[in-house]
C-alpha cells in the first residue's frame, strides 16, 4: 500500500473510532425531540398553487407551469418541441426500455389527430413491455437476484415469482400504497393470498450465507438488511448510518434505529412454501416425477447408506454452531421462546441431506480427525459410485422452474424476540432493550404506531406498512415520484434520489415535487397516471439540442430548459439490439434464462446457457441474475449491484464498453441478423438499405454526409475483404435470415454486415435524445 492510501485509511479509522465513541449507551438512549422548524422533506406535503406564467400556451399539464415559472425567473425560454420521430424513440425507450419499430414511428409521425400524443402515451402504458421496464427499476431497489451470494452463491429457484409479481403489479397499475403494504406485510394482511405472500420476497432478497455458524448473529444481519432497505427505498433515508452511532447528518439516534429494526424482530422467511400449481408447475412436476422414477433405486440405496450415520451426523452438524445458537438448537421444543423458534426454523431451512453426506465424507477420508471411522470408508466409496450413476440421469431433471415460493412468516406466533441497542452496532454488545417505534424526525409525535397482533403474527410489519402507505406520511409519495421523475429526466427533482436528508441535495423545484406527490395520492396512488402526466408535458417534449444561453445561465440544466440526453442502460442496449435484429422473444414471465456467454468465461456450472435459442433471446429482465457471475455482456454498462438497494444507475464511459459490443460474437450475430432484416425489407438498393438501417436504429434517415460516409465505408470494407482473400484469409460473415430467392454478392454483403455492426455500436444508438 502506498503512503497516500495509508493516510486515507488512517483518517477513515479515526472517523470510525469517533463514531463508535459517540454511540455510548447513555447517548444512544436519548431519543430526538420534535422541532418546530422541520426540514421540508419531513413536513406533510400540501398541494401547492399552480404558478401563473407568461407563456401560457406552453403549459400542457400543471407540471409545465412549475418548470416554466423557474425558467422565466432566470429569463430563459424552454426549448422547442423535439420532432415526432425523436419523441417516440425517447418515450418508447423510457416506458418500454426498447426502441420503436419504423412502422410505429411512421404511424405517429403521420398521425395528424389532435390527441396523437395522448394515444401514444396510452398505447405505451397499456403494453406489457411497460411493466417489464418499470419492474427493472424496482428490482434494482429490491436487490433482486436469482442466487443467494456469498461463497456458494446457491440458486434461488423460485425468485422469479417475485420478479413476475413486480412486472404484473406495474402492468395492472396496482395502487402504490397496496404495492407497499403487500411487500412489507402481505403474509400478515392477506394470509390467504399467494400473490401477497410472494410480494414479501422484497424483504427476502438479501444476500445470504447458509453456512453461517452463528444463527443469532445471522438474524441480526438479516434484520439490519430489512431495516436499511425500507429506510432507503421508501423514505430515501440513510438510516443505516444510525446503526453504529447517532446519525451525523440527520436527527436519528442509534436507539431510534433499533426501535425501527424491532418491527422486523419476528420475521422469518420460508423459501419452500408450496405454490399453487399452474401450467408451469404441472410441467415441472411431471419432469421431476420422471426423474424420480428413473432414479428411485439409486436414491433409495444412497438413503440407506446415509441412514446408518444420520443420527450422529445431524448431531455433529448441530454441534458445529456457536454457543448462543446451540443453546436454542438443543433446547426442548416445549421450552422454546420466540428467539429459539427463529433459530430452529433457520436451522431447518439451511440444513439438507448434504450435511449428512459431508459428515460421511469427513469420517471416511480424514484420518487426522478424531471423528474418523474406518467402517465408513467402504460406505463412502459405495455412495460415491451411486452418485456417479445418478449423474447419468441429470438430463431428466427439470431444467428450470419450481413448485415452491418464498414468503415472509412469523412462524405462527405473535410474540417477538427482543431487540436491543447494540454498542457501536456490534452484535455481541447488546445494551438496552427497545420496543418498535419510528424516528421522531419522520413521524413527530406519532412515533409509536398502534400494533395489533394476531393469533399467528406480531402485527408489527403491518403497522409499519400502513404508516408507510398513509397519505399523511411525508416521505413515501415524495420519494417515489422523485424516482419516476429521475427516470424521465436523468436526475430527480432531488438529485440524491436515495437521500432526502440534510446530506442530500436540495430540490430544484420543491413545489413541483409536492404537486406530483399530492396529486399521486389524490389519483389513488396510480403509477400509470403519474407516468402519463409526465409523458404529456411540454417539458418532456422539448428538444435536447444544445443552447449557449442555457449553458451560460444554468450549466447543469437543473431548470430543464433543454431536454437532458441520456445513455441507455445495459438492459436497454441489449434488448434494443435484439429487437433491431428481429430476434427478440416476447414471452412474458417465468423462470430466469441463461443467454450464451464467451467460451473463455469459465463459470462452470454457475452459468449453463439455456438449450432453447428462443429462451436465450428473451428480454434482459428475465436473464438470470447470479451475484457472483454477472452476465458479461451487460456488466460493462453499469449493471445494478444486487448486493444492496441500487438507487440510480451509474453512467461511466470506458474502452471496455466499446470492446464488449464490438468483439462480442453474440452482438456480431445480431448484426448479421439485422443486416439480413434490412436487405429483406429494403431490397437491393444500397441507399434504401442505409435508410432502413437508420430508421430501425435511430428512428430517422441519415443526412447527406452520413450517407456519403457510409457508402465510402462500404467501398473500402469490400476492398479490405478482397485483399484478405488474396492473402488466403478469406473468412466472411454474410447477412443471416435472407429469403431463399434473395441473391447477394457475398463480399459486398459481408461489408454491409460490418457497416451494420459499426452503426449499431455508435453513440446515436446508445443514447436517447
Dihedral over Cα of 415, 421, 426, 430: its sign: negative
Q: What is the pLDDT of residue 37?
A: 55
- pLDDT (tens digit per residue) in 107-131: 999 999 999 999 999 999 999 999 9
Return the H-helix or E-strand segment holding 307: helix 296-307
pLDDT band at 724 (very low <50, low <70, confident <90, very high): confident
Provide mean pLDDT across the span 401-429.
97
- Secondary structure (H, E, C), 236-270: CCCHHHHHCCCCCCCCCCHHHHHHHHHHHCCCEEE
Cα gap 721→714, rounded to integer Å? 11
Has residue 15 got a pLDDT over 50? no
- pLDDT (tens digit per residue) in 587-644: 999 999 999 998 888 888 899 999 999 999 999 999 999 999 999 999 999 999 999 9
At 272 the three-state DSSP class reads: strand
Cα gap 178→196, rounded to integer Å? 10
pLDDT band at 729 (very low <50, low <70, confident <90, very high): low
Which pTM does this prediction carry?
0.94
Q: Name the phi and psi angles at 618, rounded to 5.
A: -80, 165
Has residue 463 got a pLDDT over 70? yes
Cα gap 592→597, rounded to integer Å? 15
Helix axes 176-189, 476-489, angle to 10 degrees: 130
Query: Comparing C-alpha atoms, which of 111, 110, 118 is closest to residue 91?
Result: 118
Q: What is the pLDDT of residue 390?
A: 97
- Long-range interactions of 717-721: CB distance < 8 A, separation 24+: 717/751, 717/754, 717/755, 718/747, 718/748, 718/751, 721/747, 721/750, 721/751
Contact 264, 395 (CB under 8 A): no
Has residue 539 got a pLDDT over 60? yes
Query: Comparing C-alpha atoms, which of 102, 99, 108, 182 is closest to residue 138?
Result: 182
The three grid cell numbers given for residue 664, joined into one nine-digit string = 462480442
Provide mean pLDDT across the span 77-92.
98
pLDDT band at 24 (very low <50, low <70, confident <90, very high): very low
Contact 302, 393 (CB under 8 A): no
Q: Where are the beta strands (DSSP E) in 262-319?
A: 268-274
N residues, the chain: 769
Query: Comparing C-alpha atoms, which of 119, 129, 139, 126 is closest to residue 98?
Result: 129
Q: What is the pLDDT of residue 30?
A: 41
Contact 437, 263 (CB under 8 A): no
Provide mean pLDDT across the span 265-286.
97
The residues, ordered by sequence, that sit 6+ positions from 12 with a Cβ below 8 Å of its Cβ are none
pLDDT band at 225 (very low <50, low <70, confident <90, very high): very high
Cα gap 516→733, rounded to integer Å? 52
- Secondary structure (H, E, C), 456-487: CCCCHHHHHHHHHCCCCCCCHHHHHHHHHHHH
At 348 the three-state DSSP class reads: helix
- pLDDT (tens digit per residue) in 227-243: 999 999 999 999 999 99
> Range with the lowest mean pLDDT among 359-363, 669-673, 731-735?
731-735
Q: What is the pLDDT of residue 725?
A: 76
Amino acid at each position: 500500500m502506498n503512503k497516500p492510501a495509508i493516510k486515507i485509511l488512517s483518517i477513515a479509522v479515526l472517523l470510525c473510532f469517533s463514531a463508535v465513541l459517540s454511540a455510548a449507551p447513555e447517548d444512544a438512549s436519548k431519543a430526538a425531540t420534535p422541532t418546530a422548524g422541520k426540514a421540508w422533506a419531513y413536513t406533510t406535503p400540501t398541494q401547492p398553487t399552480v404558478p401563473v406564467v407568461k407563456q401560457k400556451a406552453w403549459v400542457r399539464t400543471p407540471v409545465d407551469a412549475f418548470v416554466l415559472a423557474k425558467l422565466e425567473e432566470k429569463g430563459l425560454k424552454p426549448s422547442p418541441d423535439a420532432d415526432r420521430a425523436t419523441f417516440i424513440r425517447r418515450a418508447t425507450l423510457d416506458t418500454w426500455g426498447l426502441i420503436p419499430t419504423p412502422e410505429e414511428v411512421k404511424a405517429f409521425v403521420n398521425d395528424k389527430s389532435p390527441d396523437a400524443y395522448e394515444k401514444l402515451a396510452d398505447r405505451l402504458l397499456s403494453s406489457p413491455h411497460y411493466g417489464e421496464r418499470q419492474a427493472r427499476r424496482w428490482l434494482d431497489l429490491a436487490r433482486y437476484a436469482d442466487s443467494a451470494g456469498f461463497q456458494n452463491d446457491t440458486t434461488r429457484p423460485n425468485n422469479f415469482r417475485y420478479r413476475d409479481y413486480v412486472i404484473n403489479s406495474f402492468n395492472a397499475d396496482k395502487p402504490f400504497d397496496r404495492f407497499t403494504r403487500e411487500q412489507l406485510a402481505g403474509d400478515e394482511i392477506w394470509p390467504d393470498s399467494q400473490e401477497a405472500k410472494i410480494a414479501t420476497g422484497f424483504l427476502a432478497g438479501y444476500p445470504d450465507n447458509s453456512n453461517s455458524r452463528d444463527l443469532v448473529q445471522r438474524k441480526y444481519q438479516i434484520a439490519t438488511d430489512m431495516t436499511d432497505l425500507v429506510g432507503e427505498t421508501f423514505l430515501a433515508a440513510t438510516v443505516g448510518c444510525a446503526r453504529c452511532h447517532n446519525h451525523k447528518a440527520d436527527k436519528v439516534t442509534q436507539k431510534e434505529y433499533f426501535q425501527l429494526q424491532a418491527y422486523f424482530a419476528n420475521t422469518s422467511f420460508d423459501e419452500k412454501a408450496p405454490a399453487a400449481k399452474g401450467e408451469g408447475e404441472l410441467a415441472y412436476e411431471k419432469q421431476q416425477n420422471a426423474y424420480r422414477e428413473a432414479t428411485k433405486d439409486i436414491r433409495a440405496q444412497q438413503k440407506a447408506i446415509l441412514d446408518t450415520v444420520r443420527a450422529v451426523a445431524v448431531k455433529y452438524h448441530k454441534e458445529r454452531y456457536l454457543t448462543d445458537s446451540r443453546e436454542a438448537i438443543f433446547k426442548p421444543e416445549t421450552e422454546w421462546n420466540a428467539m429459539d423458534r427463529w433459530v430452529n426454523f433457520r436451522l431447518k431451512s439451511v440444513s439438507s441431506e448434504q450435511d449428512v453426506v459431508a459428515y460421511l465424507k469427513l469420517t471416511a477420508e480424514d484420518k487426522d480427525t478424531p471423528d474418523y471411522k474406518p467402517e465408513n470408508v467402504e460406505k463412502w466409496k459405495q455412495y460415491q459410485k451411486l452418485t456417479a450413476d445418478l449423474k447419468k440421469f441429470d438430463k431428466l431433471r427439470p431444467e428450470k422452474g419450481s413448485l415452491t415460493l418464498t414468503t415472509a412468516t412469523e412462524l405462527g406466533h405473535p410474540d417477538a424476540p427482543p431487540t436491543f441497542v447494540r454498542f457501536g452496532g456490534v452484535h455481541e454488545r447488546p445494551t438496552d432493550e427497545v420496543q418498535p417505534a419510528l424516528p421522531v424526525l419522520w413521524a413527530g409525535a406519532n412515533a409509536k404506531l398502534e400494533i395489533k397482533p394476531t393469533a399467528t403474527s406480531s402485527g408489527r410489519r403491518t403497522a409499519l406498512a400502513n404508516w408507510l402507505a398513509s397519505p399523511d406520511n411525508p416521505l413515501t409519495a415524495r420519494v417515489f415520484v422523485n424516482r419516476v421523475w429521475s427516470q424521465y429526466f436523468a436526475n430527480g427533482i432531488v438529485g440524491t434520489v436515495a437521500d432526502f436528508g440534510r446530506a442530500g441535495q436540495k430540490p430544484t423545484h420543491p413545489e413541483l415535487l409536492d404537486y406530483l406527490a399530492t396529486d399521486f395520492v389524490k389519483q389513488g396512488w396510480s403509477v400509470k397516471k403519474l407516468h402519463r402526466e409526465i409523458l404529456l408535458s411540454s417539458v418532456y417534449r422539448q428538444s435536447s439540442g444544445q443552447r449557449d444561453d442555457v449553458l451560460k445561465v444554468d450549466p447543469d440544466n437543473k431548470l430543464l430548459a433543454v431536454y437532458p440526453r441520456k445513455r441507455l442502460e445495459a438492459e436497454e442496449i441489449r434488448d434494443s439490439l435484439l429487437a433491431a435484429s428481429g430476434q427478440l422473444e416476447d414471452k412474458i414471465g417465468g423462470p430466469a434464462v441463461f443467454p450464451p456467454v464467451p467460451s473463455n468465461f469459465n463459470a462452470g456450472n454457475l452459468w449453463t446457457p439455456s438449450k432453447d435459442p428462443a429462451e436465450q433471446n428473451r428480454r434482459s429482465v428475465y436473464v438470470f441474475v447470479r451475484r457472483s457471475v454477472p452476465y458479461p455482456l451487460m456488466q460493462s454498462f453499469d449493471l445494478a449491484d444486487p448486493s444492496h438497494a441500487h438507487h440510480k444507475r451509474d453512467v461511466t464511459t470506458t474502452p471496455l464498453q466499446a470492446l464488449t459490443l464490438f468483439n462480442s460474437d453474440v452482438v456480431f450475430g445480431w448484426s448479421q441478423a439485422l443486416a439480413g432484416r434490412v436487405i429483406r425489407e429494403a431490397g437491393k438498393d444500397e441507399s434504401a438499405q442505409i435508410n432502413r438501417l437508420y430508421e430501425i436504429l435511430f428512428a430517422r434517415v441519415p443526412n447527406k454526409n452520413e450517407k456519403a460516409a457510409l457508402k465510402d465505408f462500404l467501398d473500402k470494407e469490400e476492398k479490405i475483404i478482397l485483399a484478405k482473400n488474396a492473402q488466403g484469409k478469406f473468412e466472411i460473415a454474410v447477412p443471416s435470415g435472407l429469403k431463399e430467392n434473395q441473391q447477394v454478392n457475398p463480399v459486398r454483403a459481408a461489408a454491409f454486415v460490418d457497416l451494420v455492426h459499426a452503426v449499431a455500436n455508435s453513440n446515436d444508438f446508445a443514447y436517447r435524445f
